[in-house]
Amino acid sequence: MSLMHSAQLLDHFENPRNVGDLAAPAQTVEVSNPVCGDVLRLSVAWDGDNVAEVRYRARGCTACVAAGSALTEMMEDQTRAQVKAINREAIDSALGGLIPESKHVAVLCLDAIRALIR
């Protein structure tokens, strides 16, 4: 098993951005990966169609914590349509390229986006 995470991923893990919760009326979703046990909770305060504020909490592997941080940065000041357009490749790129064992965290982020936009 290769454990060579990118510098970007390690930076998000060691210095996570936007950690926390947002109180109602913010929208909060929680998704999990039953295989590995990772859990990602995403809270978004919308200002009309735009992300006004975004926070996350993650429980899981190094890549899961880093992915939550990167995802919130990607979502800041975006519209619902822009958030919905975030894809696996964008998440992978924001983390400097995920190792094969960590690719599942991009799917977890997409699950959270889908739950949010639903």
- pLDDT tens digit sequence for 46-104: 999 999 999 999 999 999 999 999 999 999 999 999 999 999 999 999 999 999 999 99
Question: Which domains are delineated in the chain?
Answer: 7-117 (3.90.1010.10)
Task: Give the predicted TM-score (pTM) of the model.
Answer: 0.93
Q: Which string of b and e fits 67-103 if b means at least 16 CB within 10 Å?
A: bbbbbbebbeebeeeebeebeeebbbebbbebeeebe
Task: Report residue 1's pLDDT band, with 50, 70 and 90 as the boundaries.
Answer: very low
